Structure formats: C-alpha cells, structure tokens
A and B are shown apart, each in its own frame.
Chain A
Amino acid sequence: MGRVKIAKKSTFIDMTAMSDVTVLLLTFFMLTSTFLSKEPTTVITPPSVSEDKVQETNYVQVLVSPKGQIWLTMNNDTSADYSNEKMKMALLDKVTEIYNEQHKNKPVKFTDQQKYAFSKLGSFGVPMSQMGEFLNLAIKGQEGQTDMDKWLDGTDNNPNHISGIPISKEQDENHLSEFQMWMKAMRQTDNPKLAEKIKDGSGVAIKADQNTSFEVIHTVMDNLQTIRMNKFTFLTALKGASE
C-alpha cells in the first residue's frame, strides 16, 4: 500500500485585504483626530445633562485646578488674519498695558523675541512678574520645554516659581487681579468672532475638576462678574437624562 501523499500547501497568507482595511481605518483616524493639547493639570469634568457642544474655535478656556490655580488657553480662528500667533502677540501687549497701569512702580516689558515665544505657547499661566523669565525658557526651544513643564507642574523645586495666574477674592474694578486683567485683554481682542462669543457667553469655558470646592469656583465666578463677564459656560461630560 502506498502512503497517502498530502499535497504540500503554501502557508502564504494574502495580506492585501488586511492592508486595505488598516489603511482605511488609518485614514479615518487621521482625519477625525484632534490632538489633545497638553495641560498643566488633569481634571475630570463633572457629568451634566446639558447637550450643548463645546466650541471648536474662537473660545477661551479657563482651566482651574482643585487648588485654585488658573491657566488660560486662547483658541482663535483658523483664518490667517486672526491666527493664534497674531492674536496672542496682541493679547500680551494689551495685558502688559493693563498690568503696567495698575503697577506703575513695577512695570513689565517684553522683547519681540519673548512675544514671539508667547505666541507659540498652548496654555499659559504664570504671574506677570515671572512671565519674562518663563518666556526666556520658551525661547531656548526643546531644552527649555522640559524646564517649562516642570515649572508648571511644580516639580522644579524652585519655590520662587509660581504656576497659575494669580487670582484674588478681594478685588474690585480698580484693583484687578491678574486673572481679570487677562480676561479683560481677551475681551479687547481684534478677532471679531471671539469678541462676540465672549460677549454672549459661549466663548468663555471654565474647566474644573468635579471635586473642586465651591469656594474656588465661586472666586473665579466672582472675579468674572466684577469685570462684567456675567455669561460663561462650564465644561461638562455627557450624562444620560435618565441618570
């Protein structure tokens, strides 16, 4: 009896179809993705039934840490006339003006290089008196980036470096806290769309952790109320109406 011969079959698996699928998926993710911007603190926003979507362009984000530190992000139009870089440079000029008016004996001044570095920042938040030093790090490029991150995280072990824009409970229209100065400068922006959105409230988004105490939130709200920014939005996570 002859042995049954098993035909040798090739183990070659055709990967073409697989490749097609992955390329399709890849294209989908590439087109839909918006990159997470790096933020100095991670917060979990509280759930809410509200279904209004967050603005994609032309809004100011106020990030509040549970300790009460504040960082701002300015998102402008995609158009070249009102690009982030241009608007941020103008913003720094305006806030310097407001700041120097109130601190006549300790004015701050920025070089063109520092201003350019500021325009490239994502979220920002250091006291005005330290802004120059902070921007010098930004000018250094990659090497300065790690130092900047450490500064913002509070891990650089330098007690003089303060992270977060100073905010105060005791403030009035003649004694603005630095946070109010920034917000005032934001409102005076040349970008008409952003200015309009700030006016109707959709342009100011407060992002805070769900465990943040009411005291901290109240201070932020109170500061905004004083400069007559009575309308704003809270960023929340989605929750079903039945929950």
Chain B
Amino acid sequence: MAEIQQNDAGGGKKGRQKKMAIRVDFTPMVDMNMLLITFFMLCTTMIKSQTLTIALPTNEKIENKENLNQASAEDAVTIILDAKRKAGSSEVDSVNGKVVPVVYYYEGKPGGDEGIIGADGKIHHENNNLKESAFLSSDAKTGTARGIRELIQKRNKAVLEKITELKKKYENGGFGSLETKEGREKAQEAYNKAASEIRRDSTLAKPVIIIKSTPNASYESLINVLDEMQINQIAKYQIDNMTQIDSVMVLDYRGMLNK
C-alpha cells in the first residue's frame, strides 16, 4: 500500500531502467497520531454530569400562619439525616475519609400524641418513636425494597400500585405504539402526564415527607434521600430545619441523655 510501483512502459530499449518500488515508512506518523490520541483522550470528559432539579419555598416570613398548609399527623413522615458519630460523643466518625450516612425517621408527631417532653418538663424515653433506618437499595434478586425505601413504599402503596399499572399499560402500547421514535416520544409524554396526575391524586392515601438534617450529615445523604423521593413517586416533600424536639429525640435515641 505504501509503495509505488514504477513500471516502465517501453521495453527492449538499451538503457532500460530497473523496476523501482518507493516505500514510505508510516511508523513515525503512527507514533505521532498515538500521542495525539492519548492527549485528547486524557483531556476530554466523556461522561456528562447529571443534574437533580429542586425547588424550595422562599425565605419570606409568612404573616398569616393560617394560610400555611399543615401536614396532618397521619400523613407526616419525618426523615432525619445524620452522620455516623463516634460512640458516646458528637464527633463525626468517618471511614476512609468518607462520612457514613445514618438516617432516622418517625411517623406522625415527634414522640407520638403524648410528646417526648411531658407536661412536667421531663423527657419520657418510652414516648420516643424515632427509629433508625439505612439507605439500602432494593434486593438484587427479589427486588424487595429494604431500609428507608421499604418504609416509603409501604406508606406510598396506593400511588405506587397505580403507577405500576400505568407502566404496564405503557409497555403494552396503551399510550400509543412504541414502534417508531415519534410514537415512543408521544407515548412517553402521555405516560408522564398520567403519572403526575396519579402522584397528585388527592383521593389516594400518600405520605408527606419532611426531610430534616443535622449540620454534620453529608451532602451525599441529602441527594440520596431526594433520590428516594423520585424513585418512590413521592409528590409532597420538603426540606425543613431541625427543631429542638428533633434534636432531643436523636440524642435520646443515641442514649446521650441521662435516664
């Protein structure tokens, strides 16, 4: 390939030239190309980052408290994010420079109807309804939810069942044919619309999740919990500040308060 054959047309004449092959050595060219490829490979970012969109309420003080939407106690699930601490202290215990997430939750009011701090101003340990959970993915084999996901799925069962039905309908072409690209896009759009309607359906029992976090919890666990909201089709959730009661419950749970 890298040679040029020189055939002399004439023949039989006296000063006939020898057949010559001109060969071009491409090795240095390949070397240089490889270097350039290496350079470009190292300099580029192939994987684009993903983004997670979040909308928060404004910080403006609301004058008229009656206008506030209060989550009813039976719908409310409070998730408290924290980091693993060293035993008996509030220092963060990190493993290999990584903060280990810890997640607590309670359903309904803190401390139940009685309240953790009774009328006498003392702490009632027996009323502490805080439980510890973990960020666990679904079981790889059976697909059953574990950890905090199990709780959320249990609470959001009505919505999830409808969504599963909807997904089946989508897969069977209930929203239009999935054969062509255009059809798929259209079906996807219709599916998204129907799914969002189900998520907001007020007749279905669904939880309102309040996400709280201690200052030491990692950003990763915040993203994790927001992911869980997305995975489990939670329509109503909010990020809120820890109250004093919440702190008391966490400290009490960890046994840091004297009995």
Interface residues of A (CB under 8 A from B): 12-19, 22-23, 25-26, 29-30, 32-36, 45-55, 201-202, 205, 207-218, 221-222, 224-226, 228, 230-239, 241-243
Partner of B51, one of A25, A36, A47, A234: A234
Verify A15–B216 contact, CB threshold 8 A: no
Interface of B is mostly: mixed
A1 to B41, CA, bound (A): 59
Most buried by B among A19, A233, A241: A19
Verify A26–B213 contact, CB threshold 8 A: no
Chain B interface residue bracket vs A? 35 or more
A123 to B231, CA, bound (A): 34
Verify A212–B26 contact, CB threshold 8 A: no
- From B32, which residue of chain A is reached at the shortest CB distance? A22
Verify B34–A226 contact, CB threshold 8 A: no
Interface of A is mostly: mixed
Residues of A within 8 A of B220 (CB): 46-47, 210-211
- Shortest A92–chain B CB gap in Å is 27
Residues of B within 8 A of A45 (CB): 49
Verify B44–A35 contact, CB threshold 8 A: yes
Verify B52–A48 contact, CB threshold 8 A: yes
Verify A29–B59 contact, CB threshold 8 A: no
Contacts between chains A and B (CB distance < 8 A), count: 179
Verify A23–B33 contact, CB threshold 8 A: yes
Given A19-B33, A46-B220, A239-B227, 20 further pairs, Cβ under 8 A: A13-B27, A14-B1, A14-B26, A26-B33, A29-B44, A34-B45, A46-B219, A47-B220, A48-B224, A49-B231, A50-B230, A209-B219, A211-B99, A213-B217, A225-B59, A228-B58, A230-B58, A231-B55, A234-B51, A241-B231
- Shortest A153–chain B CB gap in Å is 19
The answer to whether the Cβ of B13 comes within 8 Å of any Cβ in the partner chain is no
Interface residues of B (CB under 8 A from A): 1-2, 23, 25-27, 29-30, 33-34, 36-37, 40-41, 43-59, 81, 83, 94, 97-99, 137-138, 140, 213-224, 226-227, 230-231, 239
A50 to B140, CA, bound (A): 20
- From B215, which residue of chain A is reached at the shortest CB distance? A215
A32 to B44, CA, bound (A): 8
- From B51, which residue of chain A is reached at the shortest CB distance? A233
Verify A226–B59 contact, CB threshold 8 A: yes
Residues of B within 8 A of A212 (CB): 218-219
